[in-house]
């Protein structure tokens, strides 16, 4: 396994989309083409909604997300008004009253916002939509500032899933990443969430953090198992200090675990979780057998989008807020990353989009293949022309030689040992990645 880790530990995408953002073709994209892609197929009114809430009171140095650090809470209402203005623009574009299947509040720190302000935002949006019985509403909570009022307000609004960013419990690691929270705080908020009726509580853990040892990972997972969250995201730390506004410049490469140790951290953590009954779901995710995510994986209904793995599958996902990404299935669109540019566009009654990509026929086929691999560890080569099939098969030869996949009658099945290298396997299908010489600093390492 160590030889395979050294061989395949290269920069690569995480495939929350295909094409991946660095390979979007902006020459074919415009606001007009984006709107057309949204209106291209009106056979279903079902949508998912991602709302980006970027504000944080302090900087967590492991985080590469788009965020704005401030302690000034007067920023809340102007931002919410901007979100609602953007939403009203999309209501006009969608034309038919949408069926709101899913909401996810991400950030930033969604619980930076006052519960009453979140209620105003969400109630206003919900009044414009049809709400089905099988809705799925979730939010990301910070254990240190998620209050009882937050939990009660969001639960009354229909939220039944919450994920808490834990990362690691060792104080020295917490100081390095500037995310200091005690086990007692996490225990309290986890138990309170369950008592208030949240039927899925998730903990986000990270391995490969600066100063993090194997013993740290073992201790963190032992503590996590005490609380038995319904879902666990066990992420590889993505070291991308070259991105703008990133706090990862605060520590050196020498502070990071070696690739061999990093993989040992994951394999040890994975075994500990599986020994407790957790099921490995896709990439980096585990869930208890009775959780909806496990059932979706077993029934091959699991879906993956810019919000990660989800049990809700809609072709349209609208992203509201600064830097948020939307997906019409036929196209992608990203909002301005800078808050002032986002506000300026809205003040001109323009969609605050800055870039995107309209998928061509081959993109749509490859997107489905990679989605199948990420969600089900199996796919085929149907629909591709012979030259593309041969190119992909050539890229898969090494994985077959290393006994990581099985290929039979153009069906590709990822073996258990190959799951650790799923990003690399997907890269063999990524025709845009192959066609363009890339800079190593576009992506984090795959292992």
Kindly report, residue by residue over 3-62, the tens digit of the pLDDT: 777 788 788 888 989 999 999 998 989 999 999 999 998 778 999 999 999 999 888 887
pLDDT of residue 435: 75
Helices assigned H by DSSP within 228-258: none
CB contact at 8 A, 375 and 417:
no
- Residue written as token pair 């309290």: 188
Bridge partner residues of 310 (DSSP)? 303
As a whole number of angstroms, the distance between CA 430 and CA 446 comes to 15
Q: Using N-to-C axis directions, what is the helix angle for 214-227 and 259-275, rounded to 10°?
A: 20
Domain with CATH 1.10.10.920 in the chain: 1-14+361-432
CB contact at 8 A, 80 and 120:
yes
pLDDT of residue 218: 98
As a whole number of angstroms, the distance between CA 66 and CA 54 comes to 7
22: helix, strand or coil: helix
pLDDT of residue 246: 47
CB contact at 8 A, 386 and 27:
no
As a whole number of angstroms, the distance between CA 219 and CA 416 comes to 26
Spell out the residues 6+ positions from residue 376 whose beta carbon is closer than 8 angstroms to its own: 297, 300, 302
CATH architecture of the domain with range 20-318: Alpha-Beta Horseshoe (3.80)
Domain with CATH 3.80.30.20 in the chain: 20-318
CB contact at 8 A, 193 and 143:
no
Query: Residues 416, 367, 308, 433: is their CA dihedral positive or negative?
Result: positive
As a whole number of angstroms, the distance between CA 292 and CA 199 comes to 10
pLDDT of residue 106: 94
Cα–Cα–Cα angle for 333, 335, 340, rounded to 5 degrees:
165
Task: With a cut of 50, list the residues of the chain below it in pLDDT.
Answer: 242, 245-246, 248-249, 440
Helices (H) and strands (E) in the chain, counts: 15, 19
CB contact at 8 A, 213 and 164:
no
Q: Residue 394, preceding bond cis, omega within 30 degrees? A: no
Which tokens belong to 437? Answer: 């010489």
As a whole number of angstroms, the distance between CA 154 and CA 348 comes to 32
pLDDT of residue 238: 78
As a whole number of angstroms, the distance between CA 297 and CA 308 comes to 14
CA distances from 45 to 122, 314, 316, 353, 358 (A): 19, 9, 9, 22, 20
Q: How far is the first Cα of the chain from the last one, in angstroms, to the nearest whole number?
A: 12
Q: Residue 307, preceding bond cis, omega within 30 degrees? A: no
Bridge partner residues of 69 (DSSP)? 56
- Residue written as token pair 């209050």: 147
As a whole number of angstroms, the distance between CA 61 and CA 358 comes to 34
CATH architecture of the domain with range 1-14+361-432: Orthogonal Bundle (1.10)
As a whole number of angstroms, the distance between CA 432 and CA 181 comes to 42
pLDDT of residue 363: 96
Instruction: Please tell me the pTM assigned to this model.
Output: 0.92
């Amino acid at each position: 396994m160590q030889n395979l880790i050294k061989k395949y530990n290269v920069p690569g995408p995480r495939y929350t989309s295909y094409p991946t953002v660095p390979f979007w073709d902006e020459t074919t994209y415009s606001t007009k083409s984006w709107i057309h892609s949204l209106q291209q197929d009106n056979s279903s009114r079902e949508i998912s909604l991602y709302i980006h809430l970027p504000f944080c009171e302090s900087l967590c140095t492991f985080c590469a997300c788009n965020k704005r650090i401030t302690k000034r809470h007067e920023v809340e209402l102007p931002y919410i008004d901007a979100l609602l203005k953007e939403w009203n623009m999309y209501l006009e574009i969608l034309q038919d009253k949408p069926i709101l299947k899913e909401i996810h509040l991400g950030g930033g720190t969604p619980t930076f916002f006052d519960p009453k302000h979140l209620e105003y935002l969400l109630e206003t949006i919900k009044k414009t939509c049809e709400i089905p019985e099988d809705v799925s509403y979730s939010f990301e909570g910070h254990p240190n500032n998620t209050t009882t009022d937050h939990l009660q307000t969001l639960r009354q609004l229909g939220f039944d899933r919450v994920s808490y960013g834990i990362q690691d419990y060792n104080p020295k690691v917490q100081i390095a990443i500037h995310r200091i929270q005690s086990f007692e705080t996490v225990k309290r908020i986890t138990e309170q969430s369950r008592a208030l009726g949240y039927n899925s509580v998730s903990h986000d853990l990270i391995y490969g953090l600066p100063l993090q040892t194997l013993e740290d990972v073992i201790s963190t997972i032992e503590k996590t198992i005490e609380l038995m969250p319904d879902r666990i995201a066990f992420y590889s730390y993505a070291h991308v200090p070259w991105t703008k506004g990133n706090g990862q410049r605060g520590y050196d490469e020498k502070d990071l675990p070696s690739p061999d140790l990093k993989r040992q951290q994951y394999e040890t953590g994975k075994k500990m979780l599986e020994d407790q009954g957790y099921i490995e779901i896709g990439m980096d995710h585990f869930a208890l057998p009775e959780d909806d995510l496990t059932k979706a994986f077993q029934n091959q209904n699991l879906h993956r989008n810019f919000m990660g793995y989800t049990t809700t599958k809609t072709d349209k996902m609208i992203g509201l807020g600064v830097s948020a990404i939307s997906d019409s299935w036929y196209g992608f669109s990203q909002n301005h990353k800078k808050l002032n540019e986002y506000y300026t566009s809205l003040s001109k009654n323009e969609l605050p989009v800055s870039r995107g990509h309209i998928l061509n026929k081959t993109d749509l086929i490859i997107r489905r293949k990679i989605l199948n691999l990420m969600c089900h560890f199996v796919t085929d080569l149907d629909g591709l022309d012979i030259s593309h099939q041969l190119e992909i098969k050539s890229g898969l030869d090494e994985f077959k030689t290393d006994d990581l996949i099985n290929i039979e009658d153009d069906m590709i099945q990822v073996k258990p040992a190959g799951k650790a290298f799923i990003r690399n396997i997907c890269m063999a299908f990524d025709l845009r990645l192959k066609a363009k010489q890339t800079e190593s600093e576009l992506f984090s390492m795959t292992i």
